Amino acid sequence: IINGLPFETKEMMIETVKYLNKLDIQGIKIHMLSIIKDTKLAQLYIKDNLNLISREEYIDIVCSQLEYLRPEIVINRITGDPKQSDLIAPDWLCKKVTILNDIDKELVKRNSYQGKKLN
């Protein structure tokens, strides 16, 4: 799934996970929308000044999604790592390890885990 699509709300991103729970899937990859050079999305981003979610919002959303994700679904990826020379935005995506660590810290802070809100 790609989080942070234009005009997508946190509630919509959580609904995506709830929908996926109904499907016969074994794994999931979670990414943040990234703006890559020389793409139509890059042109749209520059022309219309698209607003991207912040790093903090992404961490909050991913943690909320995990709380609704069936525990037996394997998380194959929780953030991407785009090539820095191709990335226009968001620049924080290049700090993959710190994002992963902050997701872990947020789950600990919430006393939460994958599937917690399904009970």
Burial of 41 (0-12, 13-18, 19+ CB in 10 A): middle
Cβ proximity of 35 and 41 under 8 Å = yes
What's the pLDDT band for 81 if we cut at 50, 70, 90?
Answer: confident
Q: Which of 61, 74, 51, 53 is nearest to 13 (CA)?
A: 61
Average pLDDT over residues 1-18: 96
Please state the pTM of the whole predicted model: 0.94
Average pLDDT over residues 25-32: 97
What does the block give as tokens for 28?
């999931």
Which of the 8 DSSP states describes residue 27? E
pLDDT of residue 25 exceeding 90, the answer is: yes
Q: How many CB atoms lie within 10 A of CB 30?
A: 23
